[in-house]
Structure 1
């Protein structure tokens, strides 16, 4: 009677005891891990789509692009936003806005270290706003003396500064205290006075300002000079003078010059680029969803998230939003459709016609408050919150399932060890019995 190998037998039988459980647990863990990976890819695609949406829906951006072109460069530039209406205009630039600039009438030997009074008040007024500099606080190093350099720092650094900038400028060997308005326009003239200082040279210096540049408003005419519509503005940028169009003047024309032409119209190529970016981002999201939610069949594998309620909800909500009307228009009317596979397609000709004939409604559909892009962003928000989003919660729940399986695997390892020890003991005893029987039988050989 041959002997048995207790270790081999114990290993085989202990493995048989736990193997079905190991296979089942591993299959479950692989399934959960596959779902976590798939949810991560869907989440990434959803974030990419949301980024594309937000880039087209910011305060300074839009899907619809218009353009404004001028017939002659050098005098003004124009920028048209999505609300601009197509049209041709004539603009004459009569005057460019300037900022007030003056120098104080100080002594000729003035320099940065010239001491100034440490009593009294220096007052500035710009466009109705006032700043009072207490000269007793100008001394910054505490030595009881204040200099012109200290005064410049006090003026520029005061929290109530209404829009005046002070600078010490050297010209032809002489130092000048320059005062400039930080904004253009007549209303931003710098007014200054000193009182209670006991120093006539100081107070007279601010009474007798030397005007270097007078403050002026910008002046333009919509149409020919003197016969068109005259417009004035403290800034060189006229915002919304024509709906959706900003005009920034840079140089005045001569009195006898003709008005300059400005054409406002749709920027079809830039708009198409924006729309294509939106469509591509959406189709990438649909591709990610399809890859993981397929029900399988006809040679196609079943997706690890097939019939997943979270993803079904995303698809359903997106579909509902994309088919809805916003501002009296929907995507299909603008030449954007969704095919049988759920992918978005653009009819470029139909879209161009919609932009040309009803650009304002098209812009309102995409970028109006609470409309298409806002609705898409709001729909995605609950799913994409970093700490408490629905996709994050789903992944956390699946990870907890994996951790519970790990605990079961640990228990299974203990079960294997106990079975192995029991079988090893049994087969070792059996081996001993068989050895004794072989020895007994040999006596009768």
Structure 2
């Protein structure tokens, strides 16, 4: 008779319960692996599209498009010139007559005793607008420091700063307009020691004055600051130093920065080709030595690739990319003929921006095409992420059910083999009694 009394109920229960759920566990493992691959692919797609969108937006910033311009000034440090993509090449003559300055007043006759004995209100008005007035109750002020603090602490201060300066052992109050320009002059009244007639003018409130052309013969312009943004289209002038009568006007030369513009176009090419490569890998059919992509046969991803390809071949304002030296190979990837681009920039550089930049340009259209996938309200990326999260929950629930099934089977087998072991032990004991072993 076989001896089954030495069987291990726990080992047998573990083995048989494992057989019961093995198929389900294998299926679950395959499904989890597939889901993980899909999630990884979706993250790769999202990263590629987001990176491409960021690149398109950087190349299509306001006043900073594909076309890059440069400038030079005949005399260094007199004027800082900043150009944008909207700047038109040319030579401009500018004479700087006067720099803008802020109004600054110092009060030599105002001492601690005068402040302590002052009564009533002191008023400081900025410019001609009476609503821009600070009123200080002098009955609540007993020192120069307290007066400065009261002025600076006004909640609706229209642009006045009070400070204390120390010279030759004496402390003086100084008032400064926060903004430059003749329209921001300070008018102070209230008690004799503080009125304008008692003040020493440290700096006058003046507008900047410049001439487009020669002084007194050109076009005079003024600004409350030393920055002119509307004098020349696409050019910002920051005045640093006034010229003297009889000086020759500054010559400002503005032109295309071919090297930087080429770099911009190459940045577009690199961004587009990188995205195209990512989409190609994700949608690969798996023929030959190529692995099958996670989005092979996916209509939405395939349509995006075709849409981008069609945009490249669409003329905008009578211009297309081939006129600027761009061409696509059989796989759709772009290459740039720098010489052809340089030739086009020499002829009419403004057309590069017309093609690529602005709300109707190629960059905006390509950026907009990302919405279908990247929109946070109804984009496909978000929709698929939500679907994958639901699938994760389903697989987690299925894993719990398999675990429950395993535990039930294990307990059942453990009970059965424990009883069998007990019976076999009894039978062996009986056989021993009758000498049957």
- Bucket of the pairwise TM-score, normalised by the shorter protein: 0.7 to 0.9
Native 8 Å contact 1:121 1:132 kept in 2? no
Structure 1's 111 and 280: CA in aligned 2 closer, same or farther, altered over 3 A? farther
- 2:134–2:157: 8 Å Cα contact kept in structure 1? no
* Distance in 1, Cα, partners of 2:8 & 2:53: 63
- Over the residues paired in the alignment, what is the CA RMSD in angstroms? 3.5
- Name the SS of the counterpart of 1:283 in structure 2: helix
Task: Give me the TM-score of the superposition, normalised by structure 2.
Answer: 0.84
* Aligned 8 A contact 1:328 1:361 in 2: no
Q: What secondary structure is seen at the aligned counterpart in 1 of 2:103?
A: strand
SS at match of 1:58: coil
CA distance in 1, matches of 2:206, 2:411: 99
Residue in structure 1 matched with residue 271 of structure 2 by the alignment:
281
| Contact 2:133-2:158 at 8 Å conserved across structures | no
Mapped pair 1:81 → 2:84: yes
Q: Is the 8 A contact 1:113 1:148 kept in 2?
A: no
2:36 match: 33
CA distance in 2 between partners of 1:133 and 1:332 (Å): 63
User: Structure 1 residue aligned with 2:54, among 44, 51, 54?
Assistant: 51
Identify unmatched segments of 5+ residues in structure 1. none
Mapped to 1, the partners of 2:327 and 2:353 lie a distance apart of 17
User: 1:186 and 1:412, CA in 2 relative to 1: closer, same or farther beyond 3 A?
Assistant: closer
**Alpha carbons of structure 1 residues 157 and 82: separation in structure 2 relative to 1, 3 Å:** farther
Give the paired residue count.
Answer: 431
Q: 1:310 to 1:399 in 2, by over 3 A?
A: farther
Aligned-partner SS, 2:323 = helix
388-397 or 22-31, larger mean C-alpha shift: 388-397
| 2:121 paired with 1:120 | yes
1:181 corresponds to 2:181:
no
Is contact 1:100–1:180 with CA below 8 Å preserved after alignment?
Answer: yes
Q: Is the 8 A contact 1:293 1:306 kept in 2?
A: yes
Q: Where does 1:280-429 land on structure 2 (aligned, <5 Å)?
A: 280-381=270-371, 383-385=373-375, 389-419=379-409
Q: Identify the residue that residue 166 of structure 1 maps to in structure 2.
A: 162
> Does the residue aligned with 1:99 lie in a helix, a strand or coil?
coil
Task: Classify 1:364/1:208 alpha carbon distance in 2 versus 1 (closer, same or farther; 3 Å).
Answer: farther
Which deviations, in whole Å up to 9, do the C-alpha atoms of 1:279-335 show, x marking residues without a partner? 323332222222222111111111122223443344344344444444443333333
Give per-residue Cα distances to partners, 1:408-439, cap 9 Å, x unaligned: 233233334445555667778888689979x7
Match of 1:269 in 2: 259
* Alignment CA distance shift 1:250-1:444 (3 Å): closer
TM-score, reference length from structure 1 = 0.83
Q: CA deviation at 1:11?
A: 5.5
Measure how far apart 1:366 and its partner are.
2.8
**Alpha-carbon shift at residue 69 of structure 1 (Å):** 0.8
**In structure 1, how many angstroms separate the alpha carbons of the residues matched to 2:344 and 2:128?**
46
Q: Which moved more, 1:271-280 or 1:74-83?
A: 271-280
Conserved 8 A contact 1:118-1:135? no
Which residue among 202, 205, 212 is the counterpart of 2:193? 202
Per the alignment, do residues 354 and 428 of structure 1 end up closer, same or farther by CA in structure 2, a change over 3 Å counting? Answer: same
How far residue 124 of structure 1 moved from its aligned partner, in angstroms, is 0.8
> Which is worse superposed, 351-360 or 86-95?
351-360
Alignment partner, residue 64 of structure 1: 67
Asked if the contact 2:121–2:135 (Cα under 8 Å) also holds between the matched residues in 1, the reply is yes
Q: Note if contact 2:141-2:147 (Cα within 8 Å) is conserved in structure 1.
A: no
Give the stretch that moved more between structures: 396-405 or 57-66: 57-66
